[in-house]
Amino acid sequence: MQPINTLHDFFVHSGAVVRLYHLGRRVEPCEMATLAAFEAGERAWPAPWQGQARLGLVFRLGDMHDPLIWFLALPLDEQGLLVPAPRDAFLQRLLETLGRSVASVGREEGDAEDNLMKDNPLAFTPSLPFQALLHARASRDLGMTASQHLEPAEAYLSGQQEIDWQALGLQGLADFVVRMDADDQVHLANRLPALPGEVLTSLCYCLEHVAIGADLARALRDRGEAAARSGDIEAFSACVRAVAGAEGQLAGAWYDELLADADACGPDLLAAMAGRGWHHLEDAERLPSFLARLAGCECADFMSVARDLALVPRLRLPVLMTLREAAPESPIGRRLASLTR
């Protein structure tokens, strides 16, 4: 039997049919090659979240009918690289639980999987929107039918049928968002102004994980600004998060306007930008503006957010340079000085 030193080794040598998903900043597919390079210490994790590489692993072994799903949070060092010891301990437990011969794994009962993940320090439970999005994506990617909740959500969001919105399930919204095409997005953009606030917020928790077109992004911006004017911070922040899936010029323009408005830059907005719109912060002017607003927001955990952004490979150097070059009298300089007192 070939040695199994990594998770990648396990899935390759076991013959598993596996799909990987990022579960950190967004629910999106992860290439096996990304995991292999990460475990080999050749690259930092591309989408870190709170110092971890969060993964959803959906796989079948042997004659399994229904796929297994593991949620693993692998700890990262200060450069975003894998801390190997916890992964190694999990692998040892994996092989001891399922047997040394990976060829027999597919014939093991499900109890072995339950025992493996029970009290596992790497296991975590994603939030309900993340779980719904993962199931929606995996079902689509594996050629499986969507949940029974898709049809009523589709009818409601397209405006074809007026049903009690309280009967809509989060899973149905996730299935709709993952499977919607360009026409669906146009219909949704037209429908958006009339959606109740509760539906809008739940929908945005799903939309923030997918790419969206210009019409839908503009509708979300309009609805978000209306929510801000009415003092609905939750709906406003949810729209900001959802617009993160739009192309850079459109989303970036709204971010720039929001960052220019001191009254808009509360902790919820800043968290929305950092958590879901981090890729739009890869801009020579927008990133310093964001960090300056973050530093000036007393309710925000400046160092925690800055440290988390610095773990993103493409943002690491710009974040560090912005902090290093901040003038002592600037918001960033004053915040850094206060942390050293």
Distance of CA 75 to the CA centre of its chain: 16
pLDDT of residue 254: 97
pLDDT of residue 113: 57
Q: How many helices (H) and strands (E) does the chain have?
A: 17, 4
Distance of CA 235 to the CA centre of its chain: 18
Record the pTM.
0.90
Using an 8 Å Cβ cutoff, are 199 and 170 in contact? no
pLDDT of residue 335: 94
Of 134, 143, 176, 133, give the one whose Cα is nearest residue 20.
134
- What lies within 8 Å, CB to CB, of 146 at 6+ separation is 136, 139, 140, 175, 179
pLDDT of residue 162: 74
Using an 8 Å Cβ cutoff, are 294 and 302 in contact? yes
Beta bridge partners of 21: 29, 56
In degrees rounded to 5, what are phi and psi of residue 126?
Answer: -65, 160
pLDDT of residue 111: 54
- What lies within 8 Å, CB to CB, of 132 at 6+ separation is 170, 171, 173, 174, 206
Using an 8 Å Cβ cutoff, are 276 and 310 in contact? no
pLDDT in tens, 160-200: 777 777 778 899 999 999 999 999 999 999 999 999 999 99
Of 10, 4, 54, 37, give the one whose Cα is nearest residue 275.
54
Q: How many C-beta neighbours within 10 Å does residue 249 have?
A: 9
pLDDT of residue 102: 46
Supply the angle between the helices 233-243 and 267-276 in degrees, to the nearest 10. 20
Tokens 């971010």, residue located: 255
Tokens 């009415």, residue located: 230
| Residue ranges for the chain with pLDDT beneath 70 | 1, 99-115
Residue 97 CA to residue 89 CA, distance in Å, equals 12
